[in-house]
Amino acid sequence: MKSDLDYIKHIHGEILFLKEEFNKTNKDLFLINNVLKRAFVRSIEIIGEASNKLSDSFKKKYPDPEWRKFSATRNHLIHGYFTVDYDIVWDLVENKIPTLHLQITEILGKEKNLFD
């Protein structure tokens, strides 16, 4: 069974991928690149799934990331895949992922210190 720290590491890895790929492109190129669009959606799905797997006690300890919103986004992408709005995907990566990156990095620092 994976620990909360394992799930946070998964989230962090997907954030790093999204940021790296985001910095290599622009919205117009993103919108015509089917591989990149699918990769972004998949990373967001993984973030949502990992957020959903975190224990309630962990979410209470760290309420700042909007865990429920990331889980809901994942559910929308998984269950409404015929209607993915890639403008919204781009906006999420551009405007929400940087904040999540800061929050997850802070959580990782605190949690890793517990095991050092």
The share of the chain scoring above pLDDT 70, in percent, equals 92
Residue 75's pLDDT is 66
Residue 44 has pLDDT above 90, yes or no: yes
Give the pLDDT band of residue 92 (cuts 50, 70, 90): very high
For 12, the token pair is: 């962090």
The share of the chain scoring above pLDDT 90, in percent, equals 72
Residue 54's pLDDT is 95
Under DSSP, the state recorded for 54 is S
Residue 114's pLDDT is 65
Contacts of 74 (CB under 8 A, 6+ apart): 44, 45, 47, 48, 49, 51, 52
Residue 113's pLDDT is 72
Alpha helices in 2-33 (DSSP H): 4-23, 27-32
Specify the amino acid at residue 99. T
* Diameter over CA atoms, the chain: 46
Residue 5's pLDDT is 93
Active site residues: 74, 79
Alpha-carbon gap, residue 71 to 49, rounded angstroms: 6
